[in-house]
Structure 1
């Protein structure tokens, strides 16, 4: 039923909770998990004159959060790959899902606290609204 499962992550505990649901599906269907962190383009350019430095810092944070989930998947004998992309989060998630023939996206309804919490909710909403790939939205 599921061969490829996508887990978008923002590095939050909520994203890790969603990942645990994805691992269960992957174990059951012997699926490969793709873990994707999206560096929001507008956020990376927010510091004038330091955009490249900020972008690199955000890429490193994305790599760390992606690596953490990939390692957890591998420790459960689930095949996993990670990626970090730059762009609009919901559009990038949907494009990645199309490009990699993803069967289901498993993501949290909310991510980081404060403004980040609101933004992750809006990303989830955008993925649900605009995508054609099924989404399992995990509420924390």
Structure 2
């Protein structure tokens, strides 16, 4: 059975480097790039209706971001699975690890929002803390 690697992917330089690292270090693994459309935690309480948030537009944006990821796979003669989810990014990532049994997570040290912590982005930090699988942080 092949190892399964999850790479949270937002199109940032650290995310691209994490995807490249996953292909280099896990040459036989099945790699999945995941884009999470962020939904603020208290959104539903504040507005009450899902219709107020354009989830389709967010998913389209996620698909656009992921369009660049297969090129990284193609350069290495590898295949890549991609997926778009909605929710709080760190929670969605950890749930996917738990629900789908990923063996390892390879995540960039920070994403498009920049460094919210001195050394580690807030999503990466939360994933490291909560993940049931090993996490490799690429910086």
The gaps in structure 2 that reach 5 residues or longer are: none
Structure 2 equivalent of residue 72 of structure 1: 72
Deviations 1:79-115 (A, max 9, x none): 3111000111111001111222211101111111xxx
Please give the secondary structure, in 1, of the residue aligned with 2:37.
strand
Q: Equivalent residue for 1:57? A: 57
Q: 1:96 & 1:7 partners in 2: Cα distance? A: 11
Q: Deviations over 1:12-69 (max 9, x none)?
A: 1221011110110232xx11100000011128x69x797343x322211211222321
**Where do residues 91-102 of structure 1 align in structure 2 (5 Å cutoff)?**
91-102=91-102
**d(CA) in 1 for partners of 2:98, 2:67:** 22
1:42 aligned residue: 40
Paired with 1:78 and 1:134, the residues of 2 have a C-alpha distance of: 22
Q: 1:18 touches 1:108 (CA, 8 Å); kept in 2? A: yes
Q: Tell me how many residue pairs correspond in the alignment.
A: 131
- 1:1-140 to structure 2, matched below 5 A, reads 3-27=3-27, 30-42=28-40, 51-53=52-54, 55-112=55-112, 116-117=113-114, 118=116, 121-139=121-139
Structure 1 unaligned runs (5+)? Answer: none
Q: Secondary structure at the match of 1:61?
A: helix
Q: CA RMSD in A?
A: 2.5
SS in 2 for 1:10: coil
Corresponding residue SS for 2:83: strand
Structure with the bigger percentage of helix: 1
